[in-house]
Structure 1
Amino acid sequence: MIEIEVVYASVERQLLRAFAVPQGTSVSAALRASGVADMFPELDLGTCAVGIFGKVVADPDQQWVQAGDRLEIYRPLLVDPKEVRRLRAARAAQARQSAQ
């Protein structure tokens, strides 16, 4: 058995759960075993992006967990960060023009 952690943060609450899984467990199997889907019914583990220590896992069914891994479940972005920056810059430019 190897020790791993699973982390997830919803809008209302956060979860950090440490537990043991057998060596050779896939990322997706470890997430199912964590019980996080039961604690957050709105969470669809089949479609969520997941990562290990901030690095996205391309295929959770084919990636094996290692001792000490922190599996992270990522929420989808509501707004594209590039679009937010572009809108903020446009508002700042408009405010500068108005002040002149």
Structure 2
Amino acid sequence: MGRRTLRVEVVRAWPRRFERVALELPEGATLGDALAASGLPLDGIAGYALHGERAGPEVALHDGDRVELLRPLVMDPKEARRKRAAKDG
């Protein structure tokens, strides 16, 4: 019987656009393996997440996982809400 593979995707997003790479990796692959196989540049990345939950490169992947490359925050979310509220009135 052959070795099983996992189908995962790696996503890097910006406002109004995104880049997605679909991968097939061997069973037992980690988030770090997916990053290496994706070929996406990792400069400027502040961290990683699996389905919206922060994760490290050592985390084991499962079939159907979505690895997200996280960008640094431009502004503290609380401060951004304050500025929007002040602008709206």
TM-score between the two structures when normalised by the length of structure 1: 0.70
Once residues 21 and 11 of structure 2 are traced to their aligned partners in structure 1, the CA distance between those partners, rounded to angstroms, is 7
Gaps of 5+ in 1: 38-42, 96-100
Equivalent runs, 1:78-93 vs 2, <5 Å: 78-90=74-86
TM-score between the two structures when normalised by the length of structure 2: 0.78
Aligned residue for 1:60? 57
CA shift for structure 1 position 91:
5.2
User: Is 1:21 equivalent to 2:21 in the alignment?
Assistant: no
User: Is 1:75 equivalent to 2:71 in the alignment?
Assistant: yes
Once residues 53 and 91 of structure 1 are traced to their aligned partners in structure 2, the CA distance between those partners, rounded to angstroms, is 33
Aligned residue for 1:32? 36
CA shift for structure 1 position 49:
1.3
Q: What is the percent sequence identity of the aligned residues?
A: 39
Gaps of 5+ in 2: none
Kindly indicate which of the two structures has a greater share of residues assigned to strand: 2
CA shift for structure 1 position 56:
1.1
Letter in 1 for 2:60: W
Give the number of the structure whose alpha-carbon radius of gyration is greater: 1
SS at match of 2:36: helix
User: Runs of 4 or more off by more than 3 Å in structure 1?
Assistant: 10-13, 87-92
Kindly indicate which of the two structures has a greater share of residues assigned to helix: 1
Contact 2:23 2:34 (8 Å CA) reproduced: no
**C-alpha RMSD over aligned residues:** 2.2
Instruction: Report the count of equivalent residues.
Output: 85
